Amino acid sequence: MTTSARVIKAAVGAAAAFGVLATGLPNAGAAPAQQQVAVQGLPIGDADLAETRTVQTLARGVTLTRIVRGTDPAPADQINTTPRGPWVVNVLTIDPRTANGHLKATYGPDLARVEKTSDLVKSSGALAGVNASFFTFTANPQYPGDPVGLGLFDGKLLSEPLADPTEANLVIDAKSNRVVTGHLRWTGAVRNRLTGAELPLEFLNHPPVIPAACATLPDQTTCTVPGDVVRFTPEFAASTPAGAGVEVVLDRRGCVVRTSTTRGTALSPSQTSLQATGQDTVALLALAKGCLRTDLAVSDETGREVPLRSGLYGVTGRYQLTKNGEIVVPDGTGSFFDRNPRTIAGTTRGGKIVLATIDGRQTTSVGTTMDETAAVAKALGLSDAINLDGGGSTAMALGDGTVVNRPSSTGGAERAVGDAVVFVPGR
């Protein structure tokens, strides 16, 4: 797949100054193969660490850079503290001005299942890609791929952004290859077209919660504690979540085709459903007469509407790393902020798109704290960047199924994930 390559080596001395690569990583076509050039080292670990960079051109305007900082394996008991590394960073850089293709987000057969990043890259016909959103994983073994936050696929809002201020979203316009980071907001409601009666939606494609006080009641309509109202689409799973509550199935026009006092059904490609638990069951049954209208609205941090149109994608991360060229990651404690494998996504000031992985929890690559991750993002020239799902999920793969990095699971095995961000050749 490589059409050209060059190796860049830099032994960074103690007196060297760290700085931002203002235009992102070098384009592999900009210098002859094997040319030795001076580069600035990543601002992590001791300043005297040797750093080696190998750059490959995967396609016109698309390069893959492997950065190895530090040479000696870390003692197993010092992975979280050593200033000597080593660190292994893989960086996929896409220049929309010259690359022939588009960036998008993708998931497997349905939203609720998980797939390996390499399988998602290969099945979408992509050149390369990385894992993306945080997802339910072990919290719900029945629906492990359910995104925990924004899931926007080709203009369809399939998972709602959270109110949690730590959520950071990557939003992709596949038609223009414009990528922005930030935190989207949403509102959702269903309204009876005849009466105007309305119910707010709590979730999209997420199993509703049965209030503990109502769990043992034989009929949820007798529950006096508020529950959830959730919209399900055919993309969720083979069937909607089963259990106590009510479910209303709607046709493509939003008209009621059946109502059930229990939850769980298979939807046809043209159908959607509404589920309710707790006290909301009564309200949904009263509303679900004739035809309903579902209103979903998304806005950015400034309150400006984000139109849900074809070609728009969005995935969910945790914490903005850089914004307008400055590090903005907050102080924090706990294992999430310790050294871990990381997946980064962002853009340079010049408009290049960068997807990067940092291997971690290994003697051959120790991983990065959240502060170190932000420092790497800035050093890679990322004006705006977010932290995607990491840990055992961190993976970068090529279109032939090759896993570029070394996942942290035993033996380097890939973890199945909820979705991925991929670059697909052609328009």
CATH of domain 188-296: 2.60.120
Nearest residue to 251 (alpha-carbon basis) of 278, 291, 300: 291
pTM above 0.85, yes or no: yes
| Per-residue pLDDT, 40 | 73
3-state secondary structure of 223: coil
CB 265 within 8 Å of CB 248: no
Bridge partner list, 26: none
- In angstroms, the CA 34 to CA 4 distance is 10
Sheet holding 382-388, edge to edge: 4-11, 50-59, 62-69, 87-94, 353-358, 342-348, 382-388, 320-323, 326-327
Positions of the chain with pLDDT lower than 70, given as ranges: 1-39, 427
| Per-residue pLDDT, 412 | 84
What is the tens place of the pLDDT at every residue in 350-370? 999 999 999 999 999 999 999
Strands 203-204, 226-232: pairing is parallel
**Residues 6 or more apart from 333 whose CB is under 8 A from it?**
none
Q: Where are the domains of the chain?
A: 188-296
Bridge partner list, 64: 56, 92
| Per-residue pLDDT, 13 | 32
| Per-residue pLDDT, 213 | 82
